Amino acid sequence: MPIYCYENKDGDVIERVYPIGKAEKGFKFKGEWYTRCIGAEIPSVPATKGWPIECIASGVQPEQAGELRELFKKSGVPTEVSSDGNPIYRDASHRKKALKCRGFFDRSSY
């Protein structure tokens, strides 16, 4: 069964499990009114906070870090690569361009 999110006026979110199509629009819990918060249920574009990020999933072996730096440079997407071989993306746009130049596509992303 899916999990549904509900929010009170202070922004506190709680989760409830209901069968599909049976979720309540709102309810009272411990004296406070909670209404359905669809925004909390649906994943969205990552916030601007948290950048830059070091991406382990698109990294290479440490001995290939230099090659990866050169590939990014030649592709017109200069990207810092850690000594471990992981690219460091500055923001979402930079990440998208860097993945594209390597032929990668993140289907779970935005």
| Residues 68-101: tens digit of each pLDDT | 999 999 999 999 999 999 999 998 889 989 999 9
Q: Are residues 26 and 57 in the same domain?
A: no
Position 62 scores a pLDDT of 95
Position 34 scores a pLDDT of 94
Residue 92 lies in a domain: yes
Provide the b/e sequence for 54-64 (b: ≥16 CB within 10 Å): ebeebbbeeee
Q: Are residues 68 and 37 in the same domain?
A: no
Position 1 scores a pLDDT of 73
Q: What angle do CA 6, 16, 108 make, to 5 degrees?
A: 80
Q: Are residues 36 and 66 in the same domain?
A: no
Q: Are residues 58 and 97 in the same domain?
A: yes
pLDDT in tens, 13-72: 899 999 988 988 999 999 999 999 887 787 655 555 678 999 999 999 999 999 999 999
How many separate domains does the chain show? 2
Position 75 scores a pLDDT of 93
Amino acid identity at 49: K
Residue 58 lies in a domain: yes
Residue 46 lies in a domain: no
Q: Are residues 36 and 67 in the same domain?
A: no
Expressed as residue numbers, the domain containing 16 is: 3-41
pTM: predicted TM-score of the whole model, two decimal places = 0.55
Is the distance from CB of 62 to CB of 82 less than 8 angstroms? Answer: no
